[in-house]
Amino acid sequence: MMAQALRLAERAAYTTKPNPMVGCVIAQGEEVVGEGWHQRKGGPHAEVFALQAAGERARGATAYVTLEPCAHTGNTGPCADALIAAGVAHVVAAMRDPFPQVNGAGFDKLRAAGIAVRHGLMEAQARHLNRGFLSRIERGRPWLRIKLATSIDGRTAMASGDSKWISGDAARGDVHRWRARSGAILTGSGTVLADDPHLTVRFDEPTEFVAPLRVVLDPGLATVTRGHVREGAAPTLYLHAADAKPPRDLSAQHAAVPMRDGKLDLDAVLKLLAEREINEVQVEAGATLAGAFLCAGLVDELLLYVAPVLLGERARPLFEGLCIDEMAQRLRLRIVETRRIGDDVRVLLQPDAA
Ligand code: AOF
Ligand code: ZN
């Protein structure tokens, strides 16, 4: 039941941000009597849809939810109250909702009404699903993923900067799914000048999604008058040094960020994005910016597309500026998932905490 609730939750991966993905299954014993998931910010919560589907059959039933039912009135009324009113007998939640207005208050409300409450079922999976939302609420910064396409010998572009294309069509299509679940796609001015990316979401088939914010780190605002990144349907935010002057006719958003060692302070960049309710940031940048995030210990996840090609030692590496000389300094990563995508292999990695 909980696995099904998690699958339902994930259906809204492209549309719920900045809200968490939440799924709910209502069951009478082995029989599912209602299902629901939270589709978008401002819309009804998962429990409301599931209770609607269950109708009278919710009485005495067990509700499986991937997140603690809310206790607050936000865009919608409290789900805890809705479960109580429907006469649900048991609630099984995957995890507590750390959102300050909930954070245990939903469980308390249910228990006070005589409902048996358990939580912790498939918690690791639920936390993984909402790692972006949890990072923003618990750490005050978005979850940071770096996407990279690499050759077998760890190269991402030729010495000239040419990188079209290392990975195949299928892998490049897959990137758009990861973009769509991200709140922001972040790059540097160097990449805007060298590659002129659009950083938009393009799907082969019509798919609903909330367009991620495009973020360009551009201390001197050198790229604001050029580049595809300022065109199209998605919003763009330029982050710059305090002394840079945005042109009067700049239609994109912009904000100043403090500097550290002559570069934009990456901690401050992430704090600003969290304040704008960005849960997941996908970095699609060159080796220098990717290396800077890694060195600063700000990378939560690497999304690596490995293509079966060799580019040779004159091609550019995955990261620059790591300053590793000895084995003892090596950065260890843990493989979270591997999957073949067309002719390439997709590897999802997380820095090893240990
Ligand atoms: C639930 N069930 O399906 C979801 C919950 O602005 P609102 O009213 O939509 O509230 C958003 C907050 O509610 C969100 O930050 C999170 O803490 C919780 N989400 N809770 O009981 C749901 N999506
Ligand atoms: Zn709710």
- Alpha carbon of 83 to ligand 2 centroid (Å): 10
pLDDT at 132: 98
pLDDT of residue 233: 86
Q: Cβ distance 119 to 107 under 8 Å? A: yes
Q: 35, 47, 68, 301: which one is catalytic?
A: 47
74 lines ligand 1 (CB under 6 A): yes
pLDDT reported for residue 278: 98
Residues 6+ apart with CB under 8 A from 146: 282, 283, 285, 290, 293, 294, 299, 301, 302, 303
Q: Report in angstroms the alpha-carbon separations of 93 from 51, 65, 72, 119, 126.
A: 16, 5, 17, 5, 10
C-alpha to C-alpha distance for 183 and 339, rounded to whole angstroms = 24
In the numeric block, the tokens 């005589």 are attached to: 114
* 16 pLDDT above the threshold of 60: yes
Q: Report yes or no: 109 and 85 within 8 Å, Cβ to Cβ.
A: no
pLDDT, averaged across the chain? 96
Q: What is the mean pLDDT of residues 6-35?
A: 98
Determine whether the shortest distance from the Cβ of 154 to ligand 1 is under 6 A. Answer: no
Reported as a single tens digit per residue, the pLDDT across 87-143 is: 999 999 999 999 999 999 999 999 999 999 999 999 999 999 999 999 999 999 999
244: its two tokens = 């840079």
Pairing verdict, β 280-283 and 143-151:
parallel
What's the complex ipTM?
Answer: 0.89
What tokens appear for 309 in the block? 């090609």
The neighbour count for residue 354, using CB atoms within 10 Å, is 5
**Omega of the bond leading into 165 within 30 degrees of 0 (cis):** yes
Does residue 45 have its Cβ closer than 6 Å to ligand 1? yes
Ligand 1: atom nearest CA of 73 is 8
Pick the atom of ligand 1 nearest to 80's CA: 21
pLDDT in tens, 39-81: 999 999 999 999 999 999 999 999 999 999 999 998 888 999 9
31 is catalytic: no
pLDDT of residue 269 exceeding 80, the answer is: yes
CB atoms within 10 A of CB 199: 25
| pLDDT over threshold 70, residue 354 | no
Q: What's the DSSP call for residue 147?
A: E
Q: Of the ligands numbered here, which is closest to the C-alpha atom of 68? A: 1
Give the chain's radius of gyration (CA, Å).
Answer: 22
Residue 353, pLDDT > 80, answer: no
